[in-house]
Amino acid sequence: MSSAEQGAPQSATGSGPTTNLLISGVGGQGVVLASYVLSQAAMAEGYDVKQSEVHGMSQRGGSVTSHLRFGGKVWSPLITPGTADILLSFEALEALRYVHWLRPGGLVVYNTLRVNPSPVAAGLAEYPADIDERIKAAWPRVHAVDANALAEEAGSVKSVNVVMLGAVSCTLPFAAETWETIIRRVVPPKTVDANMRAFDLGKRSPVC
């Protein structure tokens, strides 16, 4: 047996349920950074964690999703459609597009911002008008957040993702200090204050 083989990992046998959080948005909105904060928070709180996203073509203004799973022992990096506990969407249409990934009774927290997809910009399709009603018809636990307005109030339009993290934070078992430590660590140094304000403004949204 080689030396490296002796260090080969064994299957962990943790227990406890897995929380499934699906994040959706538009390429460029900071879905990846938000997922990073969430996965770091889950690790800091002692959970096993897996997170999955796709890079490449989808970055070019396309629809983006990120899967975050944490709990005792997490196997699959992917959430199975119909089993997500929370859908956190940074854009309205992208909430409607992925809402069926939720389990019955799952929670939707979405940003009311509307970003035209290219077929709408090209005049080939219409942006759906009644997104909130359509989501509520199937998943009544819905919270709409005007995250772009809150991000501007916080002092950085780019902090929309952190506003959304603040909005959903009360539903997750992560301590306030954990959130703060990680956000301070991962955002650009010059934007720490704006991002902390963004998180607090998001937290005031009445999700819980």
Partner 1 sequence: MREILSGNEAIARGAWEAGVRLAAAYPGTPSTEILEAVAGYKDIYSEWSPNEKVAMEVGLGASMAGARALVCMKHVGVNVAADPLFTASYTGVKGGLVLVTADDPAMHSSQNEQDNRNYAKFAKLPLVEPADSAEAKDFLKIAFELSERFDTPVLFRTTTRIAHSKSLVELGDRPALAPITIFEKATDKYTMLPSNAIKRHPIVEQRLLDLAEYAETTLLNQVDMGDSRVGIIASGAAYQYAREAFSQASFLKLGLTYPLPAGLIADFRESVEKLYVVEELDPFLEELIELMGIRVDGGKDMLPLCGEFDPGLIARALAADDAPGVNTDLIPVPRPVDDDLPNRPPTLCPGCSHRGVFTVLKKLKVFVSGDIGCYTLGALPPFEAMNSCVCMGASISIAHGMGQVMAPPAEGAKLDLRTKSVAVIGDSTFFHSGLTPLLDIAYNGGRTLTIILDNRTTGMTGGQENPGTGKTLMGRPAPVADIPTICRGFGINRVIEIDPLDMTEVERVLREELAANEASVVIAKSPCVLEYKIKREPWSVDADLCNGCKRCLQAGCIALSLINDAEGGRKVRILADQCNGCGICAQLCRFEAIVAPGAAPAPGVASGSPAPPAVASAPGDIAAGEKGAS
Q: Which residues bind partner 1 (CB under 8 A)?
A: 1-5, 7-9, 11, 26-27, 39-40, 43, 48-63, 74-83, 93-94, 96-97, 99-101, 103, 115-128, 134-135, 137-138, 157
Least distance (Å) from partner 1 to the CB of residue 186?
12
Least distance (Å) from partner 1 to the CB of residue 79?
8
Of 182 and 203, which has the nearer Cβ to partner 1? 182
Least distance (Å) from partner 1 to the CB of residue 124?
6
* Helix, coil or strand: residue 28: coil
Distance (Å, whole) CA 51 – CA 66? 7
Distances (CA, A) of 193 to 67, 120, 170, 199: 28, 36, 21, 10
Distance (Å, whole) CA 182 – CA 43? 11
Least distance (Å) from partner 1 to the CB of residue 39?
5
Of 15 and 177, which has the nearer Cβ to partner 1? 15
Of 32 and 203, which has the nearer Cβ to partner 1? 32
Query: Buried b vs exposed e over 173-182: b needs ≥16 C-beta within 10 Å?
Result: ebeeebbeeb
Rg (CA), the chain: 18
- All residues at 6 or more sequence positions from 111 whose CB lies less than 8 Å from its CB, including other chains: 25, 89, 90, 91, 92, 144, 145, 146, 147, 148, 160, 163, 164
Of 75 and 155, which has the nearer Cβ to partner 1? 75
Least distance (Å) from partner 1 to the CB of residue 42?
9
Of 152 and 200, which has the nearer Cβ to partner 1? 152
